[in-house]
Chains A and B, each alone.
Chain A
């Protein structure tokens, strides 16, 4: 049981997909200007990432491995992810057109979000079973959403700050992201505790 907990905590905090693995920075910088958008993006990515890890595990284990077609992993994963993203976009377009508009290009770009492809591949590299894969996927997604939302909260506040001209916008956001990563280093070693 604690094994699963460690996977989950590890994925959310210790090996946070954005701040420690430095994956998925594109939406992290792109859709963190407003808290509202960050909630939407977090939810969308969580859904896609969890679905993608589950689907890719099934594809890998029941379609590719039996036939020795592991070399098709990246290709088939991307196709699956693209389909899931497309589906998500349709649902969002139906339920919240404003969110769709504000997420803009970043919504379809979840397809090429390296976190979404990276997590299923890491699952395979770590040799996780189905439940572990799902946990790792969900944990990574929650970790992504968490830092995205916290980052958006900070950015909304920085927007009113008197930042020196040359550091306004993305520059100060990058610095903030760096300091966030520094803070997350505090979790280092938590998953190794016996």
Chain B
């Protein structure tokens, strides 16, 4: 017997979706590479290789066809998100550990593609920041210029992890500075330091965020994502950050700083929009995005970690099935009752 109706199919496939997501990451990656050097490309390669190998091993163990699933590109998307959220000069084994954990535990143990309740990349980030908090906070100092060879040596552990790596993300720097100063410094004073904080939110980092925004908008235009999650995420972040900033601008940074720093843009467009672990109903997506934005702010400002996007997304992943159940849209012909 032949395949059942419909006999006509739209030209679409999972691997094309994943390829387009990777393409959409390119502007952000380009800005990132311009900012910290080609090390990030090395990390992307390491993470991709680790992800594909882990995926292949797990598929082999389960007796699933290798070619079809490796080609779907989902492992590569996970790997790229891991590489982009980890510090660019993190040791290779840290990236590999995170990636393997993501693919094996968070993805394949649940049955692989499409079945994981948690975003694998964010699981990797959370696991590593809990297990290796120091390594996960070593960001290259501002203006650090190392040659490619030096960077690779640092990543591979052949060169000592230089003091220059004692930098932090603008978010972390701000948080630490505020804590150390214990009220004697205001956010406005800190932000005036353009060496660290650039024009808006972190020297160079703001351009990486802009790159992600560009890619995200392209994905929206290509209908790979809907507007709901990014809008709700950014909206919630702006509302809570703006409210607190208006309440006390000395203690709380302005919304623009929060939007363009840390993982906000990457989270809003590439992580929280993951349909597998996120919500799928329109209202559910709005709640998911808003919840993730709000939690990200709360955790990065009031909590114990430098950034909150990963935990926020994981926490919303937890809620996604229940939110979906509670936000089922009314169906054709049943709208009066709803």
Contacts and interface: CB of A to CB of B under 8 A. Distances in A.
Q: Is A in direct contact with B (CB under 8 Å) within the complex?
A: yes
Interface of A: 35, 149-150, 153-154, 156-158, 161-164, 167, 172, 175-176, 179-180, 182-190, 192-193
A182 B314 CA distance: 9
B111 A183 contact: no
Interface in B65-109: 105-106, 108-109
A167 B311 contact: no
B299 interface: yes
A10 to B, nearest CB: 12
B109 A153 contact: no
Contact of B317 (A162, A183, A188): A183
Nearest to B299: A186
A42 to B, nearest CB: 12
Contact of A163 (B110, B310, B322): B110
B271 to A, nearest CB: 14
Contacts of A161: 110-111, 115
Contacts of A184: 315
Nearest to B62: A164
A92 B117 CA distance: 33
A143 to B, nearest CB: 13
29 contacts: A35-B322, A35-B325, A153-B320, A153-B321, A154-B318, A157-B321, A162-B112, A163-B111, A164-B62, A164-B108, A164-B109, A167-B109, A179-B105, A179-B106, A179-B314, A182-B126, A182-B130, A184-B315, A185-B126, A185-B311, A186-B126, A186-B312, A186-B314, A186-B315, A187-B299, A189-B304, A190-B304, A192-B304, A193-B303
B269 interface: no
B318 A186 contact: no
Contacts of B321: 150, 153-154, 156-157
A158 B110 contact: yes
B227 interface: no
Contact of A183 (B126, B304, B322): B126
B118 A179 contact: yes
Nearest to A165: B62
A127 to B, nearest CB: 25
Interface of B: 61-62, 105-106, 108-112, 115, 117-118, 123, 126-127, 130, 295, 298-299, 302-305, 308, 310-312, 314-315, 317-322, 325
**Which one of A180, A187, A190, A192 has the highest number of Cβ atoms from chain B below 10 Å of its Cβ?**
A187
Contact of B299 (A153, A154, A190): A190
B314 A187 contact: no
Contacts of A153: 319-322, 325
**Which one of B126, B130, B322 has the highest number of Cβ atoms from chain A below 10 Å of its Cβ?**
B322
Given A162-B115, A186-B312, A150 B303 contact: no
A193 B317 CA distance: 25
A192 B305 CA distance: 13
Contacts of A163: 109-111, 115
Contacts of B312: 186
Given A162-B115, A164-B62, A182 B303 contact: no
Given A185-B126, A186-B310, 6 more contacts: A150-B319, A153-B325, A162-B115, A182-B123, A182-B314, A184-B315
B117 A154 contact: yes
